[in-house]
Structure 1
Amino acid sequence: MAETIAAERRMLTDAEFEAVVGTHYPDICGLEKGELISIARRVRDYRDKARDVTRQRRREQRGKAEPRSANPAPSEAGTARKKQLFAAALKRVNKQIDRLEKLERRPSQGEIARRALEMKRANQVRHHPSAGWTARGGMRPLPNRGDTVQVDPREVGRVSQFVKSAQVRRDG
């Protein structure tokens, strides 16, 4: 779950908070790529430090590592939360860097083709005016006065049987 800026202020030191507070929207949108890279470097260092301290404390609690001090290792919950805050800040910074790089990058062939297809589809409207008024019913059909051959259906069957018999005689 995302932490509020007030909660971040309570958990982080002043230097850590100064690095993280600039990664929130809308502040992050006004930063240039070089500034974002330097912020990412600092936040990554803080995250790595919190990760290492958390690992060390867990190892001390399990008895796998020698304690760094005479006192037993405190709970690693606070440093684990810090690590999560730094990881979220680093994620925001990396996304913004990716957005800026995407804007700088030349379009791919797929993007060019999609844009061309959009332009083609937008241009498919008809450019010529309508023909105007037309005749009401249109032309009247003229009946064909020529004789049509009417074949008796029985004749069709007789011819088909004749052809079938001739084929058998020829192949036979």
Structure 2
Amino acid sequence: MAISRKDEARALSADEHALVEKSHHPAVQELSDADLAGLVKLLRERRDKAQAEAHRRRREIRGKGAPKGAKPSKADGGSQLKLAVLAMAMRRLNGEAERRRQLAASVSLVENARHALAMKQKATPAGPEFNTRTAHKGMRAIANQRAQNLVRPMELGRQRQAAKVAQAKRDAR
């Protein structure tokens, strides 16, 4: 489910909100690659911290963990919302980083293909001896090293059929 920006602002602190705002659409595309990598690192740290806090609160509510404050937490809706907001921001940033990686790979592929074509065109020999319709030396046949089978295939088939008939007669007894 989508989380509105109003809910995001309510769930996050001011500095976290500033980081998450940079992960939204128009702002994320204006970031440089280095800024994007730095933002991913910062946001991942915040998300991991919120995840640990939400996990601790859930354990506290179930009675499995010691309370952090004077009395145990009664609800963890706020920590769950904060975790969801930070996780969505991480997903947006990872998507943008992957989009940029694929774009760079595509550009690199095109450049490599053009370079390979230029090299091929430069290396192609020109002259009448290339790609003519005569064989020149061509391929040479390699003599078969196995001994030739002198038994006629028809004789082999006749013997095989005779063995089948004899076996069938024995089986019928």
Q: Give the structure-2-normalised TM-score.
A: 0.59
In the alignment, which residue of structure 1 is the partner of 2:60? 60
Report how far residue 74 of structure 1 moved. Answer: 3.5
Report how far residue 107 of structure 1 moved. Answer: 2.4
Secondary structure of 2:10 counterpart: helix
In the alignment, which residue of structure 2 is the partner of 1:51? 51
Distance 1:7 1:62 in 2: 26
Distance 1:78 1:5 in 2: 15
Q: Give the structure-1-normalised TM-score.
A: 0.60
Distance 1:107 1:74 in 2: 56
**Identity level (%):** 31
Distance 2:25 2:98 in 1: 15
In the alignment, which residue of structure 1 is the partner of 2:36? 36
Secondary structure of 2:72 counterpart: coil
**Largest Rg, 1 or 2:** 1
Structure 2: which 5+ runs fail to align? 114-173
The one-letter code sitting in structure 1 at the alignment partner of 2:3 is E
Alignment: residue pair count: 111
Q: How well do the aligned residues superpose, as a CA RMSD in angstroms? A: 2.0
Report how far residue 100 of structure 1 moved. Answer: 1.1
Report how far residue 92 of structure 1 moved. Answer: 0.5
The one-letter code sitting in structure 1 at the alignment partner of 2:80 is A
The one-letter code sitting in structure 2 at the alignment partner of 1:23 is S
Report how far residue 76 of structure 1 moved. Answer: 1.2
| 2:109 is the counterpart of 1:107 | yes
Distance 1:78 1:100 in 2: 33
- 1:10-159 equivalence runs, <5 A: 10-105=10-105, 106-107=108-109
Report how far residue 6 of structure 1 moved. Answer: 2.0
Distance 1:7 1:66 in 2: 30
Structure 1: which 5+ runs fail to align? 113-172
Distance 2:64 2:11 in 1: 28
Distance 1:41 1:74 in 2: 32
In the alignment, which residue of structure 2 is the partner of 1:125? none
Q: Write the deviation string for residues 45-73 of structure 1: whole angstroms up to 9, x where unpaired.
A: 11111111111111111111111122121
Distance 2:86 2:25 in 1: 15
